Structure 1
Amino acid sequence: MKTKFKLSTALLAIVLLVNSITVQASINHTNLNNDPEKDKVIIYVLKNVLSRLHFVQKDINDDLSEQIFDSFIDALDSSKRYFTKQDLKEFSKYKYQIDNQLLEDDLSFYNLVYGRFLEKIKNAKSYYGNLLAQPFDFKKNETIDLDYTKVPFAKNDNELIDYWRKQLKLQTLSRIQEQTDLQEAKLEKDKNYKIKSFTTLEKEARAEVLKNMEDLYIRIEELEHDDWFSTFLNSVVGAFDPHTTYMDPRIKERFDQTISGKLEGIGARLQKKGIYTHVFELVAGGPASKQGDLEPGDIILKVAQGDEEPLDIVGMRLDDAIKFIKGKKGTEVRLTVKKKLDGSTKIISIIRDVVQLDETFVKSSIVEKEGKKYAIIDLPSFYIDFSDNNYRDSAKDMEKEIERLKAEEVTGLIIDLRNNGGGSLKTAIEISGLFIDEGPVVQVKYRGESPIVKKDIDPKVQWDKSVVVLVNEFSASASEIFAAAMQDYKRGVILGGNQTYGKGTVQNVLPINQFYPKYKKDLGYIKMTIQKFYRVNGGSTQKEGVYSDIAMPSRLSYMKYGERDMTGALAWDKVPQAKYTQTNSYDNFNDVVYNSKQRIATSKNFKLVNEYAKWLKENQDNTSYSLNYKQFFKESDAKEKEAEKFKSVFDYKSNLTFTSPKYEQSLFKENEDLKDKRVAWHKNLSKDMYISEALNVLSELKLREKTEIVKN
């Protein structure tokens, strides 16, 4: 309660401050702004909210100005396709003035750059159109470097067009090579297959690149002022730290959908192809799937709300089309659809409902090894629906899943957090509490304040047997809270990449209108870093992540990836250790860790993965490509031969059989799609060398008969 009160008091102070100011709507570049007053209100509120509530106290000064300048230019033109040095020279007069403009709610820098960018977008269409209208000279000896951080901006428009030429030439050359390889493969199967000439392949490749470019620029032209202004706002707020972001209402809706694992609508994934909205996939068990008429590949032409007149959505941007198709549970939507199979037009009526995104939720699999049952619980995110306390969340689901597995006499658990990017701090604490007695789980700290110890207050231990936590370089945030707690309590063995992602910060999502209530239009949201979290041992996971007890080679082992490689990431630090009691759950923890490390070190599979990771790193660092077709083919063939020795890198097969828990098997008769998904998952588990090693570790762990208490 104390923490919430402090935050609420600070919010109230900002509301009062912001409402004491009248934002001027006058602006010189009204032709560039849909709503200049709204833009200035957002800027005004954000700078005040950030300076008062962000975890880092940062002055709005020349250093911040330079950071925003570089970030915004890079966000618009990271591949150096639009701006020239002449443009940058003109922009640079504002390089150390953006801070002053922010203080005065002045958008001159944004308007200049945005206006120029719109001009460049129009020019780009003529660039690629003219360049792709005629064959490239593939005999010319020249190269292109795709590491655009090393490439300077073009001196002038002529050099800019040459940058375009090289990029389009590379795309064309890549397609020629793909088609050449396909032809050779077909010729091996059919000696009568007629090979196309290089001239024909080159012409077809250019046509394909042109179509891709036209599709790309259709999507770019659909973007509105608010989209580009959001890019600028994210350059401003991102100067405080990489995880502080501005979200317009559409992005916020997607964020809520991701973290809750549900949406209200028809249960269809859509994609834009040219001017048409296509059905890409139906969500199993969703309204569209149950209704049965809508199919993948169908084109949605019109949308009607109940008995209202249909709205033509051909040519409409995808986000806007989705807005009309989605809707509240129980409402009717009528879709005018062109069917993929026969091209006929059909009106399909669907009653919207709550759609659960099953891939978001907890699932488990049971496997028998040496006469004992073990289970893998896959936790893809720490999901929760903050708007509905009665809806399922990851903590409730984990508790329920563990209870079901106990009923099937499972003796050990693997908690799979690979690729789990985090989610709710609340559920991370509650899930940790399922494995320990009541006590500290994590510490959180606001700017300039002492850390607050967040505890599991439930004395019940849901699972008191062996635990292995499987992580990788993509396990972040709430995943790291859970893994760190299991490691600090010596409750589980952490197995995976050398270290996890390293995101040790907490964000809060706040509606901007809360700070400016008299403004009636939706101003969007700010997801802002307000806290850092720390392990119970006092160390931060920021940048460092959680180091695995047992590190296994992965394809990312040598790649630059994680918080430590992000520009502007907050620093690692530590706070005093919390008072907690280690469980020391295992008699043979050190022996098990040693045995596993020995197996990994001598494993042919893991050795090959390690070599593969080094090879990937070498290729990542080599960003230069020849644009001479003979040299390009020669280099490609050489890489292909190198890649051959890694062809079997993940060709692993265990002799283990994975099955669904009994409660889930009973659902398969009514849900064939669920059954198919589980069969595919179980097949992948049997070919997963990381799961196999986790099971080796789990099978060797011996629980202490009497828990040894170690107080910290």
Structure 2
Amino acid sequence: MRQQLIGFLLTLAFAIQGAAADSELAYPPPLVPAVQEAKAAYLAAGLLSRYHYKAVPLDDALSSKVFDQYLKALDPEKVYFLQSDIDRLAVERSRLDDAILTEDLRAPFEIFNLYERRAIERMAYARSLLDKGFSFDSDETLMMDRKDQSWPSTKADALDLWRKRVKNDWLRLKLAGQEDAAIAKILDKRYDSNSRRLSKITNADAFEAFMNAYTMAIEPHTNYLGPRAAANFDIAMRLSLAGIGAVLVDIDGYTTIRELVAGGPASLSGQLQVGDRIVGVAQGPTSTMEDVVGQRLDDTVALIRGAVGSTVRLDVLPADKGPDAPSKTVILVRDTIKVQDTAAKAKVYSVATGEGKRLIGVITLPSFYEDFDALRNGDKDYRSAGGDVGKLLAQLKAQKVDAVLMDLRNNGGGSLREAINLTGLFVGKVPVVQTRDVKGDVIVGRNVHTEVAWSGPMGVLINRASASASEIFAAAIQDYGRGLIIGEPSFGKGTVQTVANLDQVARNANAAYGELKMTIAQFFRVDGGTTQLRGVTPDIGYLQSGNESLFGESSYDNALPATHVKAADYAPVGDIKAQLPRLLAWHEGRVQHDRDYQNLLDDITKARERRKGNVISLNEAVRRKERAVMQARIANMLSAEEVAEGGGLSDDGLQFNERKLSKNLAIEKTQKSVNDVVLNEAVSILSDSAALNEGKSQTAASALSTRPVVVTALSTAPSKP
């Protein structure tokens, strides 16, 4: 009864204030929790309290942390809530544990509803400013990062903050050459679209936001996945799905085809092309066509996906036709689609040296994927990161490369088993990693499946976004002295997660409760050290972004501490330390004369200065000078043809869905053509290492200024999806 009274009073207080403040605004209906969501929260709490590596009781102390994490997730830049909102919500600080344990989630949902109301109010105010326009001759500034600031103390403070945000949006478009009338139209549509997106938020979205506030208040890498998010996670791990083979985006409320997957039903039909808009979806040959214009993209995608062999009918508005043109019906039979964009790929680079050319194979691995279902079903050819990399190594050997570089930049991890298997391709059947569970038991993870596929010179390229399984692999290569670690220190995530299916826990036949990705162990290097908080330190580090306090494990205030265990029984298989002085000297001599490298180094320095200053000028003259410098920098990066095709890389002030799809695709193509300074230097370093292995210590293998050139591209893409 007490919880019901609290919920009623909270709802009434919010409703009264909202009506008094903005009576003319149209708010969406308040979101309310579903029965299955309250049950899912209760089930998750039981697992987290008993089986998490850092098991924390769900009590008032944890409730307070959940409260803070929830507000941080909803309003990280503190631009929506007022301080008076936070003060009034504080009554729930110690009661969110009760909300979960009593399966009454009205209080966290009311917090979400207030956030949604405030966001809609801010969008309405932003639109109201557009008729007046702005003057840009004052020395006014806008704070770039507000996460450490207080919430606005009054509504007037909040509106002034939003005035500056809108002014900055306007100035960006003005600097890009837009006229005032066009700017007002673009921004009005943008803020209106934001409000419309807010109105499409569902109770499932609100519940997932609250649950992740709960899980991440315990530890950063524990997450709740609703049924749809769990399905997408499964697709990402197995790199396959049942569908039509089309990449879709939302542009102006239309589900638009961004890309057709080669060999998929959509491509093979010959009836669809990039830019076509899907306006209706129907299941089977006779069911009613459902209008999907203005619908959330993920809802439309869910309608289009389905079982292999089933039929879907699409009502399609051709790319070259206006919104009032007649549509056409396209009938497709769903098939298994292999996801290739996030699969391992390889390229062979030719490096000019003082004695000719050297070939370096580069394997790019975006994640450590693994098809768990196929593995459980006994499929010997199941899709996996280690399996694909093994195939690529065979192709590279056939190309007679001199060395292999594993590019793990931005690889956030994945399957622990695949990290072990991948290490075995370079080191053999040896201990790779150690894991310590909640009981304190330490288990050595040994590769027992894969044989050495590459015994020549190798290296690993990492950056701050290389995490978890990437760090296991890089650390093992380093501990065994097997190859060079190049780049910047990695993320520092030394924890192991498992996925618990809440429906299985509840013995529920239907997918209703979602899944819990929960930290159950901590991993350690074979030498007994840890990557937790510390990450993997490169043997040759360069172009470090300096954002360690903003991104990485050390940026979390509740990350697990860094500890150590006894070293495993292992023996190094090589020693690259003797090479490092010569490699560093060649590296430093080379980059001093590399214009692109020095420009990027300058960009990093300026970015650090901007972060430190934390403000951006709203003065037009100041911003024009800054823009001119950037334009000159971009002109040096691109050829005239690339600038003409992609429109350059300068800020046009537009968001993705505000440009024509063809423009976005051209920009992306231009971005991909930009010289990858970090990778090119890593290739050159590895070429130098291969030279030293050959006993050619007097010749810098890549001392010439010529950058490495791609001569061959390889992949494991199947001939049929």
Residue of structure 2 equivalent to 1:613? 604
Task: Give the TM-score normalised by the residue count of structure 1.
Answer: 0.82
Q: CA deviation at 1:615?
A: 1.0
Identify the residue that residue 645 of structure 2 maps to in structure 1: none
Q: Which amino acid aligns with 1:278?
A: T
Change (3 A) 1:496 1:506: same
State yes or no: 1:155 paired with 2:153: yes
Q: Does 1:376 align with 2:383?
A: no
1:489 to 1:156, Cα distance in 2 relative to 1, 3 A: same
**How has the CA–CA distance of structure 1 residues 61 and 635 changed in structure 2, closer, same or farther, with 3 Å as cutoff?**
farther
1:472 aligns with 2:463: yes
Closer/same/farther in 2, CA of residues 688 and 645 from structure 1, 3 Å limit? farther
**Aligned partners of 1:587 and 1:703 also within 8 Å:** no
Match of 2:328 in 1: 346
1:502-513 equivalences in 2 (<5 Å): 502-513=492-503
How far does residue 525 in structure 1 lie from its aligned partner after superposition? 0.9
One of 34, 37, 40 as aligned partner of 2:35: 37
- 1:635 aligned residue: 622
Deviations 1:586-633 (CA, angstroms, capped at 9, x unpaired): 695345544445436745444443332111111223332344xxxx12
Residue 445 of structure 2: aligned partner: 454
Deviation at 1:113, TM superposition (A): 1.1
- Mapped to 2, the partners of 1:484 and 1:115 lie a distance apart of 45
- Cα distance per residue 1:295-325 (max 9 Å; x no partner): 1111111112221222221232211111111
Q: How has the CA–CA distance of structure 1 residues 439 and 484 changed in structure 2, closer, same or farther, with 3 Å as cutoff?
A: same
Task: Look up the SS of the partner of 2:390 in the other structure.
Answer: helix
Shift of 1:539: 0.9
Q: Distance in 2 between matches of 1:634 and 1:282?
A: 44
Give the aligned partner of residue 543 of structure 1: 533
Structure 2 length as normaliser, TM-score? Answer: 0.81
Distance 1:130 1:553, change over 3 A: closer
1:358 to 340, 348, 353: 340
Distance 2:309 2:120 in 1: 44
Q: 1:357 to 1:701 in 2, by over 3 A?
A: farther
The whole-number CA distance in structure 1 between the counterparts of 2:577 and 2:33 is 67
**What residue ranges of structure 2 are gaps of 5+ in the alignment?**
12-28, 640-667, 696-721
- Corresponding residue for residue 334 of structure 1: 313
Counterpart position of 1:13: none
* Mapped contact 1:135–1:203 kept (Cα < 8 A): no
SS of residue paired to 2:460: strand
Change (3 A) 1:141 1:594: closer
Query: Displacement, 1:34?
Result: 4.5
Q: Structure 1, unaligned stretches of length 5 or more?
A: 1-23, 181-200, 653-676, 705-712
- Relative distance call for 1:508 and 1:495 in structure 2 (3 A) is same
Alignment match of 1:82 (pick from 80, 83, 86)? 80
> Would you say how many aligned residue pairs link Structure 1 and Structure 2?
632
- What are the equivalent positions in structure 2 for 1:234-245 lying under 5 Å apart? 234-245=212-223
Compare relative contact order (CA 8 Å, sep 6+) and give the higher one, 1 or 2: 2
1:693 to 670, 684, 708: 684
Shift of 1:276: 2.2
Given the alignment of the two structures, is residue 441 of structure 1 paired with residue 432 of structure 2, yes or no?
A: yes
The alpha-carbon distance between structure 1 residues 162 and 640, as it changes in their structure 2 partners (threshold 3 A), is closer
8 Å contact from structure 2 (residues 579, 689) kept in 1: no
Distance 1:687 1:277 in 2: 36
Q: Which letter does structure 2 place at the counterpart of 1:358?
A: Q
Aligned-pair distance for 1:165?
2.3
Q: Which moved more, 1:370-379 or 1:339-348?
A: 370-379
> For residue 154 of structure 1, what is the amino acid of its counterpart?
P
Name the structure 2 match of 1:529. 519
Q: What is the match of residue 665 of structure 2?
A: none
* CA–CA separation in structure 2 for the residues paired with 1:79 and 1:378: 34
| Distance change in 2, residues 1:510/1:603 (3 Å) | farther
**Inter-CA distance 444–703: structure 2 relative to 1 (3 Å threshold):** farther
Which residue pairs with 1:126 in the alignment? 124
Task: After superposing the two structures, state which structure 1 stretch, 148-157 or 432-441, moved more.
Answer: 148-157
What is the aligned partner in structure 2 of residue 325 from structure 1?
Answer: 304
Cα contact 1:230–1:246 (8 A) shared by 2: yes
Q: Given that residues 298 and 338 in structure 1 are in contact (C-alpha distance below 8 angstroms), is that contact kept between their aligned partners in structure 2?
A: yes
The residue type equivalent to 1:583 in the other structure is V
Counterpart in the other structure of 1:186: none
Q: Distance in 1 between matches of 2:152 and 2:123?
A: 18
Report the alpha carbon displacement of residue 585 of structure 1 after superposing the two structures with TM: 5.6
Structure 2 residue aligned with 1:573: 563
**Aligned residue in 1 for 2:401:** 410
SS of structure 1 residue aligned to 2:528: coil
Task: Report how far residue 679 of structure 1 moved.
Answer: 14
> Quick one: which amino acid aligns to residue 315 of structure 1?
G
**Structure 2 SS opposite 1:111:** helix
Please say if residues 432 and 525 of structure 2, whose CA atoms lie closer than 8 Å, have aligned partners that are also in contact: yes
Identity of paired residues, percent? 31
Asked whether the 8 Å contact 1:534–1:540 carries over to 2, the reply is yes
State which of 101, 109, 112 in structure 1 corresponds to 2:110: 112
